[in-house]
Amino acid sequence: MTGAAGRVLHDDTGAAVVLARPPRRVVSLVPSLTEALAAGAPDVLAGATQWCTHPPELGVARVRGTKNPDRRAIAALEPGLVVANKEENRELDVRRLRAAGIPVWVTVVESVPQALASLERLFTLALDRPAPDWLRSAQDLWDGPPPRPHARVAVPVWRDPWMAVGSATFAGDLLARLGLENVLARDPGRYPRVDPAELDRAGLDLVVLPDEPYPFTASDGPDAFPTTPAALVEGRLLTWYGPSLVTARTALPGRLRAPR
């Protein structure tokens, strides 16, 4: 809808976002969205967080972290839009940015189809430009229902305390679409605390250890699961949504195959 002040759009949460014109300067507070914008609309990306590590050569202003963005630095960049995520960013920061007159587009991503739809809305609605080719490729690669599970896995994401992927998460849905059953998929928590000893006795086929947010390595993580094989993977392929989805679809199956 177009009003006197400009286009009135609605982000993934249903919040109204008023844009006088398609934004020419965008600040991203989400690593996945930063990579997506850098690959699909590099001319508009003006700022990102310190955790936005892809692409490695990204040369934009940094506005601190996802949980503590520097709102003054963001305002100084004069963005036409800030992009955020309901899970990764604080509602308080979103409210304060909006109160300062800065439009904020909040994404909601809890599954692969939701991620792909959210990215398309970001490009075609918020930015008013065609969806990039990599997004079309990702949509084609991930089309169709999840296959029948062929292995049971657990995915720790933190240590001391141990936490793992639970229910209603993007990573859990991605694994299901690769034929892997997350044993904590029915846990009421999205990232519940877990006892590795109990998981190690749960008939697991594989423990998946990403290198972020906790930097699991060959010497830090597999030691907690003496009876269950562990697979070390690049966290970006498992938890990021954006161009990494194209790589993840072909790279992860071989890395997440349980030994027979």
Q: Select from 3.40.50.920, 3.40.50.1980, 3.40.50.300, 3.40.605.10 the CATH code of 151-254.
A: 3.40.50.1980
At 201 the pLDDT is 83
Map tokens 């792909």 to a residue.
116
* Alpha helices per DSSP H over 83-207: 91-99, 112-121, 133-141, 170-176, 196-200
At 5 the pLDDT is 63
Mention every residue, 6+ apart, whose C-beta is less than 8 A from residue 65: 49, 50, 51
At 165 the pLDDT is 98
Topology match between the domains 2-141 and 151-254: yes
Domain boundaries, the chain: 2-141, 151-254
Sheet holding 104-107, edge to edge: 61-62, 45-48, 26-28, 81-85, 104-107
Helical packing angle, 244-255 and 133-141, nearest 10°: 30
d(CA 78, CA 115): 27
CATH number listed for the domain at residues 2-141 = 3.40.50.1980
3-state secondary structure of 39: helix
Q: What is the pLDDT along the chain (260 residues), one digit of tens a residue?
A: 555 567 999 999 999 999 999 999 999 999 999 999 999 999 999 999 999 999 999 999 999 999 999 999 999 999 999 999 999 999 999 999 999 999 999 999 999 999 999 999 999 999 999 999 999 999 999 999 999 999 999 999 999 999 999 999 999 999 999 999 999 999 999 999 999 999 998 789 999 999 999 999 999 999 999 999 999 999 999 999 999 999 999 999 999 976 65
d(CA 34, CA 40): 10
* Nearest C-alpha neighbor of 241 from the set 67, 110, 103: 110
Between the two ends of the chain, the Cα-to-Cα distance in Å is 56
DSSP secondary structure letter of residue 259: P
At 259 the pLDDT is 64
At 244 the pLDDT is 95
